Structure 1
Amino acid sequence: MNKNKIASVFLTLVILLSTILSPQLIGAANAAENDQDLVETIEKQTVEEQNDELSEADVLMDNIGDNDANNVGNITQVPEETEPETDETKVFHLEDLVTNETQVINESEEDEDSFVENDSQLQSNSAPLEAGLETESEDDIQPLVDDGNDLGSGIFKDVRVEINGEPINEGTVTEVEITDGLQLQVTFEWALDDDVDLQAGNWAELQLPGSLSGVSSSTSGPLLDGDGENVGTYEITSDGKLKVVFNDELTEKTERDGKVGLLLKFDVSKFEDDVNQKLEFGEEINKEFGFKVKPTGELYDIKKTGKVDAEINSKYIDWTLDVNTKLEALVDGSIEDIIPAGLVLDSSSVEVYELAVGSEGKLTPGILVSKPVSTDGGILKVDLGATDKAYRIKFRTNIEGELNGAYTNTATLKDNGTEKATSSATIEGLSKGSLIEKEGWRNDQDKDQIIWRIYVNKAEETLNNVKVLDSLPEELTVESIEYWKSDAWGNYVEWQGKATKFPIELGDISGAYVIVVTTNIDYAKFTEYTKELEFVNEAILEVDGSEKDRDDAKVTVERGTLLEKSGKETTSYGDSKISWTLNVNKAKHHIDNAVVTDTIGAGLELIEDSIVVKNVTKNTTLAATDYTFAKTGNGFTIALGNITDEFV
């Protein structure tokens, strides 16, 4: 009973379902049939459209001349027939969509395979370069042409410096020894802001520090970004700049950055002037690295030298102290210099300079610096404090009182109150000029003259109402007097004028003068003949009416003879003769009633008309009436009378 009831219910449900589903199944079948018709219509239409387009292209190509056929690529637009609009809706089968999509994917995969193959080849080519192999030299890498805009040095953001792999801290001083094996690695970081519109050929450059020169690696190479991609080239220019040129790799990207690593070397010549050098990177990076090499050559804890203003009439001495040229670290350095007697320190003259020490010991004064200075009690003290620098201290001492022949000065370097080293310097050979000084000599151009020279105030003192007196010997007469201003050595400086007699008045003076007096010898004043004549002349310096100093000079003159005789043979063929010459009174002595007697030797005969008498002093020939000639038994005499001239 129950089973029959259940079966009846199931049958009822089946009938109801068939009633509901039958209309839907019939509609679906009709729709499928309509879809098939639509697909056939679309396919037919597509074929017809393609045929129309081909026909249109044929017509277009027919219209292009032979010369235009090669310029098809320049046509910017091909006229198209406008399809009439239709209200029909195009329906694409799922099978068609799937087939088309599969084609696209296949083409993409084919392109990707090709790209992967090319990329693999690129990596294969670039790998030896990165490995440093010689299959392709870095020198062969040519920088890109900078045909774009200057991006500015601001793209360089930071720098890292290493020596032989050890990083150098910014703002510190690192001691280095410059050798052939020294490697200075400098790595620059660059970055492009996202808003920079990068184009291929854009470039930027950064000035390298002047302490660097050349490169120990290639001067150019590939520019890599943070992902290792080649994004351009870098090079070191001939004027010492780092230059980068970008390709188009980063033109459409963001987060663009990378590094450029260089192996550079120091410019050794820079250290020749100063062992302390800096690598200064400009405002873009704003970093500074200090380097110091150990100096060589003649170096000192302290060295003192001095220089006088003049070796004669010295007025002051300039002293120089070179301190700590070894560049050692001083905890509390100080200088002490005790000024010796006879010298007075000029406190306003003390100056302290920083002193640059070169790698080979060259010293170059630097800037004037302020250091605590004390000059109390005649002792110079300079506090240097904690330092490892070298200094040059300069000061002046004035000479006080009588000039000494030499002055010695000693300076001491102390560190933290303990003496470290001393140095002394001696100035010697100093002298003071005379107040009056006289000298004389026989005139080489005129043996009958004596020239006297009087030096006045070589001491260069300030003197008032100055007069120069000179008492000449009576055997001398004044020919001329001239005087000049001079230096302390007596060198003529400026001609002042002439005088006719003494005294010579110079007035108030503070400089030196030279007076030159030319005198003639009056031999007539000597009653007795002597072979030598001695002349003594004295000059007196008078200041304010009182004698200040005096000096004399002595000149000895050798006189000529009173009589000389000489002869020479003048024999010609068949005629033997001898010519005789008598020199009378070469000494120009005063002789009264002078008579010359000549005795002719045996075998000789006097030729009277050959006798000629001349006055040598006056350069005249005497007439027969000017002298008296007389023959003797074996010669002759000639009476000249009273003479002071020379005759022949």
Structure 2
Amino acid sequence: MMKKQNIIKSLLSLILSVSMLVTGLGLTVHASVNGDQGEQMEAGGQQLFGGGPVLHAVIEENLVTNFELTIIRKDYSTQNIENGLNYEFDVEDLNALEMTYRLTKPDELTIESGYTYKIKLPDIFSGNTTNPIPIIVEGVKVASYEILDGYITITFLNANALDDTYLDVKIQGNFDTEVFKGVEEVNIKVPYSGETSFSATIRAKREDYTGEDNKKPGKGYILNDQNEKVPVDKNPTHVDWTVRVNDNANEHTNVKVVDTLGAGLLLIADSFKVEKIIRDYQNNETKVPVPSSDYTVTPDASGLGFSLEFVGGNINHAYDITYTTVLTKPKDGGPRTFKNTANIFYDGSETGTDISDEFTGTWSETLPVITKTGATTDDPHVIDWTVKYNFGKENLGTVTLTDTLSTGHGELIPGTLFVYEVNTDIDGNIVGVLGEPIDDDDLDINIVGGTFSIKDLDADGKAYYITFSTSVPVGLNDEIIKNTIADGEGDDANTDSDIVTVNTIPTGGKVGEQLVDGDGNPYIEWTITMNKENINVGSITIADLFDQTLLEFSLDGNLKDKYLLELRYVHDGGGSTQPAQGTEPEYKYDVVDSNYSVEAYSPEDTSDTRSGFKLTINNASNKTYKFVYRTYYTVLGMKEPQLANDAELAFWTENDGGGSGIGGGSGDGETLTAKITGPKAGISKSGNYVYGKDIDGNDDKTKQYIQWSIVINESRIKFDTLKVTDELTSVNKGNFTYDQNSFEVEDISDAASPETLVRNDDYTLTFNTDGNGFTIIFIEYVSSTEKGVLPSNAKFRISYLTSVDDKTNLEHKNEASLIWQGGTESKGDTVPERTSGIEKAANIEIDENGNKIINWTIDFNSEKNVLKNVKLTDKYSSVGTKPVIDNIKLSKLVDGNYVEKALESTAISFDDTEGTFTVDIGNIDAVPYRLTYITTLSATQEQSAVVSNLATITYTGNTDGETDSKEIPKPELVIDKNATGLEKPKENNLTKPVISWKIKVNTGSDNDNTNNIVNLQNAVLKDIIPEDQSLLESTISVSRVGDVDFDLDQDKISSTPNSITINLPNGAYEYVVTFQTE
């Protein structure tokens, strides 16, 4: 049976129509209000509205003498609206309406050609015409009409030839439910030409609503210069309160609101506003102001509250009562909660409904009279200070501000003291721009050492912002400088202080970076940084020592290009740029060529065998310097795991290393030590699976190997001796071995043109006795034979193959070591175990009898590996039939196409208890494979559960297996109905409009499988046609999608003027039904 129907109702309910009936002649004229030209009908007749005086072209007189209204629901039931009654409808039921106006001509009225008459239509009517609609009587166009913006306008052309005295105008159209929004009810009133009229009230059925009386504060605000409310998060001055009375809109008498304000609240007496709440059927609210004459407000005896009563006593609506209170700022600022107690008394009861609530606001804290802050600057000899004075704008009179630095910690820097008069807000923020400082001539400033004063400053309601800078002496090591300012003497003075920690001890640092020159010789570039704090010093000395058995160094001027020996002045405006290197960031510098000296240096302690140099910088001042030099590795130094280099750095107050030491007292200074690891040539190792080759050099996908690559000397260091060893290190190393004929050694210094080295001429290759390792030794070049490669700073690559582990299919580990005069470097790599990959898919087909066939596909070995002992297990769904062994097929991808591979019947086994079958495939090549089989699905089975299927592949090395699953959802019955065309009366000689319909039956909702549709059984399609339409029985057509030969027996189709019933054949088919109505 059909599980679901989706019947779309007739579109005619959406088509507006107008008909005009001339009484006595039976004349009906139809037209569409949605812009169609409509149908024209002719009938006999005589004079219409004849005789009487001629009036103006617009007929102002009311001609309506009767009005009828009928509401049409969506189920096509109707309700006549009687004069003087009230009605309630569910908005969801309302569909259309029909109205009839009777127009009666007074005896004295003559209607000439061009006269117009306009009728205002009720607001519940919706629709317009786009062109005038003609009215034709006995072949003569006597008038036309149009509907626009809620009016029907009749224009008379040749009406005096007719003699009937009244006209019935019948209009049908949509019911505009939007009219119910924002109102409680809609009044339909049509005045008649006499003193009577038609009047009815229509209400929309209201949605459920549960109200709650309450009292709520609004957001705090301030009043701007235009007395407008400005909401604020801080420092509000006012808040509005709103009391909701009778929220459920019940009938009450003697309603009174009693409100008592809490501490800190002051009522504004003339701030009351009362609004009536009008709710529409969706409970949307519209507020209507209530005149002040409809309520009274009486203050209580304390003056802290009031009572409000409604004049007349009776209410049946909800009301909002809003009033304003002034907020009192708390003395010390911060948050404050204001309580407001209120009760509503109904029907004279002495027990009220408590609706009390609170408002919490936040205010700025009371501002200090004076605030002092200090901060260091980029110049270590300067501190910047700021003073905020009287930002609360108190009346402090005339004051003297005195500022004092801690003893011995500097003094005011001339030209840095600026005093600004500022405007501030309640939070103590400066409003607007800072402006120009007060002229020094207008200030009385006195400076003595580390103290200065500003005398006779006017502080009556004025705020000042003061900035200045003080100097910092050299040689202060993490010392605290304190600065205090006061506006008087004694305990009554306002005062504040701040402290700043300073350090004017210059420091330095040393780093080393390992590099290789163009000949492949490794060296260290050392950088010593001095005075990065830019302290103003007299001179700088460096004594640098290192072990020259490990590092080569010379002060010989002829070797300057090799050892560099460069002093650099570092600053942003430098003409040269040193790129970032190691831990050293990029910097700009100029090379210093004077005022310094470098000389050989040995320690006074004769037991210290180190030697080096001493650098002296004269007139160093407040500059940052870097001294850059190089040392080259000796062979012994290359073998050291780590090298250290010490430099003794000292700063002096005078030139030439004279005067007293800065920071160290005696000038011993600090020891800078830099450590660096030995040079690394660099080694990398990688491996990946590859296929074997047949005799023609093509891939043999029945065999698999691992291609290994060792790359050495990325640093391009010159090798004097060079050996590479390699060892298989994984636990399964006994299951794979080297292919001894696959080795290739190349010089890849030029990656575009690698050069292949010759075994036994350029290198030797030997294998370990256990077969799990090898050694390659590079041979020294002999000019007489032109064989060998060392010494060399070339980059080399060693490539070779190993077999794969077919016994356990575990990962393959391999480690290589580079052994040269600088030491040993090692690197390993792991090639993971081989995997298959698996994907399950399903495709539904429908056979000629309407039965469902599911074609299952399992694709595996998408990773293209050679795998052993492969088994494929499929857990087929309990929904559907069990696979038949003859339908289980195995295919292998050959030249882009799947070619079936024969399966022995013994390779397939079933486990009916588990609902599975297993295919023992054995060994597979490194290509994708596919397993297919077929199941069927009955109508009963497809509705019982989701079709679910799980496939698992296992093989050597993975007995747990890889899995993938596929589900086919239960099909859903989907029916889609649409109107596909409208033929108008003037087309094809029709007498009535004709609508064409199309119903798609069983279209399905599964995007993955379009054939996953319902297997229909004893299905009956029934379509109900609205009463305003009539079926054209001869137009019924039933077709089956995809079957051009399908022909449904006519005895399966039955119909009435307002219904169609079709008995559909059994099977998973999709149908299309078409027909027409008029």
TM-score by length of 2: 0.38
Q: Is the 8 A contact 1:199 1:251 kept in 2?
A: no
Quote the offset at 1:343 in angstroms: 1.0
2:299 matched to which residue of 1? Answer: 375
Alignment of 1:90-129 (within 5 A): 126=26
User: 2:91 pairs with 160, 167, 178, which one?
Assistant: 178
2:477 matched to which residue of 1? Answer: 529
Q: Is the 8 A contact 1:323 1:390 kept in 2?
A: yes
CA distance in 1, matches of 2:150, 2:299: 50
What one-letter code is carried by the residue in structure 2 that aligns with 1:605?
S
Give secondary structure in 2 for the equivalent of 1:372: strand
CA distance in 2, matches of 1:157, 1:541: 94
2:853 matched to which residue of 1? Answer: none
1:388 matched to which residue of 2? Answer: 316
Alignment of 1:169 with 2:84, yes or no, is yes
Residues 242 and 591 of structure 1: CA distance in aligned 2, closer, same or farther (over 3 Å): closer
Q: Structure 2: which 5+ runs fail to align?
A: 1-21, 30-35, 50-55, 72-78, 222-231, 446-452, 575-589, 603-610, 627-1078
Q: Is the 8 A contact 2:112 2:157 kept in 1?
A: yes
CA distance in 2, matches of 1:439, 1:362: 57
What one-letter code is carried by the residue in structure 2 that aligns with 1:152?
E
Give secondary structure in 2 for the equivalent of 1:386: coil
CA offsets per residue over residues 3-26 of structure 1, 9 Å max, x none? Answer: xxxxxxxxxxxxxxxxxxxxxxxx
Alignment of 1:71-150 (within 5 A): 126=26, 140-141=39-40, 149-150=57-58
Quote the offset at 1:241 in angstroms: 0.8
User: 1:268 pairs with 177, 192, 208, which one?
Assistant: 177
User: 1:339 pairs with 237, 261, 278, which one?
Assistant: 261
CA distance in 1, matches of 2:543, 2:156: 122
Identity of aligned residues (%): 15
Q: Is the 8 A contact 1:275 1:295 kept in 2?
A: no
1:327 matched to which residue of 2? Answer: 249
Largest Rg, 1 or 2: 1
What one-letter code is carried by the residue in structure 1 that aligns with 2:263?
A
User: 1:606 pairs with 552, 555, 565, which one?
Assistant: 555
Residues 179 and 235 of structure 1: CA distance in aligned 2, closer, same or farther (over 3 Å): farther
Q: Is the 8 A contact 2:189 2:197 kept in 1?
A: yes
What one-letter code is carried by the residue in structure 2 that aligns with 1:409?
N
Alignment of 1:308 with 2:220, yes or no, is yes
1:405 matched to which residue of 2? Answer: 336
Alignment of 1:353 with 2:275, yes or no, is yes
Residues 576 and 237 of structure 1: CA distance in aligned 2, closer, same or farther (over 3 Å): closer
Quote the offset at 1:237 in angstroms: 0.1
CA offsets per residue over residues 548-603 of structure 1, 9 Å max, x none? Answer: 96666666668786122234467644687655433223344576775433335424
Q: Structure 1: which 5+ runs fail to align?
A: 1-121, 131-136, 225-229
Alignment of 1:208 with 2:121, yes or no, is yes
Give secondary structure in 2 for the equivalent of 1:196: coil
Residues 314 and 305 of structure 1: CA distance in aligned 2, closer, same or farther (over 3 Å): closer
Alignment of 1:550-561 (within 5 A): none
Q: Is the 8 A contact 2:276 2:289 kept in 1?
A: yes
Q: Is the 8 A contact 1:529 1:589 kept in 2?
A: no
Quote the offset at 1:487 in angstroms: 4.4
Q: Is the 8 A contact 2:424 2:430 kept in 1?
A: yes
Q: Is the 8 A contact 2:541 2:614 kept in 1?
A: no
1:581 matched to which residue of 2? Answer: 527
CA offsets per residue over residues 595-640 of structure 1, 9 Å max, x none? Answer: 433335424323467453648699887664x456654333325264
Residues 576 and 244 of structure 1: CA distance in aligned 2, closer, same or farther (over 3 Å): closer
Residues 304 and 435 of structure 1: CA distance in aligned 2, closer, same or farther (over 3 Å): same
Quote the offset at 1:196 in angstroms: 0.9
What one-letter code is carried by the residue in structure 1 that aligns with 2:508?
L
1:239 matched to which residue of 2? Answer: 149
Between 174-183 and 376-385, the greater mean CA deviation after superposition: 174-183
What one-letter code is carried by the residue in structure 1 that aligns with 2:555?
L
2:345 matched to which residue of 1? Answer: 414
1:62 matched to which residue of 2? Answer: none
1:198 matched to which residue of 2? Answer: 111
1:435 matched to which residue of 2? Answer: 367
Q: Is the 8 A contact 2:570 2:623 kept in 1?
A: yes
User: What is the count of residue pairs matched by the alignment?
Assistant: 498
CA distance in 1, matches of 2:341, 2:386: 43
CA offsets per residue over residues 232-267 of structure 1, 9 Å max, x none? Answer: 78866032113345687776758x345545556653
CA distance in 2, matches of 1:569, 1:150: 105
CA distance in 1, matches of 2:171, 2:540: 110
What one-letter code is carried by the residue in structure 2 that aligns with 1:416?
D
Give secondary structure in 1 for the equivalent of 2:271: strand
Quote the offset at 1:197 in angstroms: 1.6
CA distance in 1, matches of 2:437, 2:354: 57
User: 2:511 pairs with 557, 561, 566, which one?
Assistant: 566
Q: Is the 8 A contact 1:406 1:429 kept in 2?
A: yes
Structure (1/2) with the larger strand percentage? 2
TM-score by length of 1: 0.60
CA distance in 1, matches of 2:262, 2:361: 17
What one-letter code is carried by the residue in structure 2 that aligns with 1:430?
T
Give secondary structure in 2 for the equivalent of 1:193: coil
1:496 matched to which residue of 2? Answer: 435
Quote the offset at 1:323 in angstroms: 3.8
Quote the offset at 1:210 in angstroms: 4.0
Q: Is the 8 A contact 1:617 1:646 kept in 2?
A: no
Q: Is the 8 A contact 1:306 1:425 kept in 2?
A: no
1:66 matched to which residue of 2? Answer: none
Quote the offset at 1:308 in angstroms: 0.3
What one-letter code is carried by the residue in structure 2 that aligns with 1:307?
K
1:156 matched to which residue of 2? Answer: 64
Q: Is the 8 A contact 1:200 1:251 kept in 2?
A: no
1:98 matched to which residue of 2? Answer: none
Structure (1/2) with the larger helix percentage? 1
